[in-house]
Amino acid sequence: MQESIMRTGGTYGLTEEEQFEAVKESLKSHGNLKKVLILPPDFTRRYSGAFALTKMYYRLLKDTCQVDIMPALGTHDPISEEERLAMYGDEIPKECFFNHNWRDDVVKIGEVPAEFIREVSEGIMDEPIVVEVNKRLVDKSYDLIISIGQVVPHEVVGMANYGKNIFVGCGGKGMIDQTHSLGAYYGMERMMGQDKTPVRKVFDYAEEHFTQDIPLMYVLTVTTQVEGNTAMNGLFIGRKREIFEAAVKVSQEKNINFLDKAPKKIVVYLEPEEFKSTWLGNKSIYRTRMAIADGGELIILAPGVRKFGEDEKNDAIIREYGYVGRENIIELVKGSKTLQNSMSVAAHLIHGSSDGRFTITYAVDKISREEIESVGFQSASYSEMVKRYDPAKLKDGFNTMEDGEEIFFISNPALGLWADRERFYQVNSK
């Protein structure tokens, strides 16, 4: 197994040259490569630094090797031509790209046993979890498969990436449904920002037992935004779990934003190019729920949101059941074949509710008030709301409006986790 490569940078992160040297070094131990598959994230991870790294690997390999690229979409929409060009320009030919279909393009490689699930879930779940991956990952013609992604606090697994990119990003319905429901039932506030969560233990089991004959190399990034630019604060490359653990420590330092007081009102802006559904836009709920005060208000400025689910089937289920709270969804699942067959959606509905602890207002113009309110949110006009809360005039953090109102503003919820210090440590000390 190749030696781990670990690089960290200061406030402004690793330079492009330092990143390139690490990428070049990571290929030295792999010999004469003829066919390589790269698994970068999709456009929703635009600040991960992964697209630049993908291009570096392509430049180093293209003259002597066939390079295929398959974004780790999970349940997200396939990348559009516009997104592909925004991510890679015309440097990488279109014919290099393939889409992952989480419903149809997967093969079963194993099963995490029920007794293991029962143990890690503290008895919440008691059934095996099927391990499926895209069929390209078991294609023996690939000499190397490079999984590139960002380590950042995450609502389903605790900290994103490493095995998640394989088993969810390139995984099948069984694993996606069951791990999402495991995380939602266990409680995302117990997991966000943490490493060894129940869902992570499932991914680790699958990594250890079912992927050892797959020629995987993980490329993990930790990033922040500094003066409007993406700073790569950490780059960790290899196969051993130690690279993930090192990345987690850096992400916990860089991406968890502790607040010494809980804001009564949080305003979150969703960039329209990145957030086109509540399926993605609800990051604004997940990543702030540990910060906002009881009885507070979350306003989501969402100029690009035009639907609920990323695909038509999931969209229809969200419209039917709505974001009605954890306990209600758990009860609804018991009597609903639809939800039982779509547990990732049931988990999403749990994640997207405040359970009555604070109000959630979606400020949109591309979806009607009636539709927004029908799924359990409050609705407002984006074009009207932005007159008061203009993202161009607000700074990240606490702002005092002209009339004295105090708000906490977040320009992109995908960049981290915001938590009231007392609430975070209280939850994670249990």
Q: 13-44 pLDDT, tens per residue?
A: 999 999 999 999 999 989 899 999 999 998 77
Residue in the block written with tokens 């949109």? 364
Strand partners for 379: 362
Beta pairing class for 359-364 and 297-301: parallel
| Half-sphere CA count of 25, side-chain side, radius 13 A | 16
Evaluate whether 377 touches 361 at the Cβ level (below 8 Å).
yes
Q: Which pLDDT value is given to residue 311?
A: 86
CA distance 411 to 102: 30
Per-residue pLDDT tens digits for 271-303? 998 899 999 999 999 999 999 999 999 999 999
pLDDT in tens, 125-171: 999 999 999 999 999 999 999 999 999 999 999 999 999 999 999 99
Rounded CA-CA distance 176/217 in Å is: 22
Q: What would the pLDDT profile of 41-100 be if each residue is shown by its tens digit?
A: 987 778 888 899 999 999 999 999 999 999 998 888 788 888 888 888 888 999 999 999
Domain boundaries, the chain: 5-256, 260-427
The dihedrals phi and psi of 333, each to the nearest 5 degrees, come to -60, -40
Residue 429 reports pLDDT greater than 60: no
Identify the DSSP state of 404.
S
pLDDT digits (tens, 9 = 90+) for 317-329: 999 999 999 999 9
Mean pLDDT across 386-410 = 96
CA distance 288 to 409: 11
Query: What predicted TM-score, i.e. pTM, was given to this entire model?
Result: 0.90
Nearest residue to 172 (alpha-carbon basis) of 225, 211, 129: 129
Q: Name the token pair of 229.
A: 């630019």
Question: pLDDT over 90 for what percent of the chain?
Answer: 85
pLDDT above 60 (res 430)? no
Three-class SS of residue 379?
Answer: strand
Residue 214: predicted pLDDT:
96
- Record: fold of 260-427: 2-enoyl-CoA Hydratase; Chain A, domain 1 (3.90.226)
**How does DSSP assign 260-324, residue by residue?**
SS--SEEEEE--TTT--BHHHHTHHHHTTTBTSPTT-EEEEE-TT--BSSSSHHHHHHHHHH-S-
* pLDDT band, very low/low/confident/very high, at 398 (cuts 50, 70, 90): very high
Measured distance CA(364)–CA(371) in Å, rounded = 11
> What confidence score (pLDDT) does residue 45 get?
79
| Dist. CA 178–CA 121, nearest whole Å | 12
Model confidence pLDDT, tens digit, residues 207-254: 999 999 999 999 999 999 888 888 999 999 999 999 999 999 999 999
Domain 5-256 has CATH 3.40.50.920: no
Q: Tell me what the mean pLDDT of segment 375-385 comes to.
A: 97
Q: Give residue 262's identity as a one-letter amino acid code.
A: A
pLDDT of 374 > 70? The answer is yes
Which one has a higher pLDDT value, 229 or 336? 336
State the average pLDDT for the chain. 93
**pLDDT band with cut points at 50, 70 and 90 for residue 423:** confident
Q: What is the pLDDT of residue 269?
A: 98
Token digits of residue 286: 């997940």
Q: Give yes or no for a contact between 50 and 151, defined as CB atoms under 8 angstroms apart.
A: no
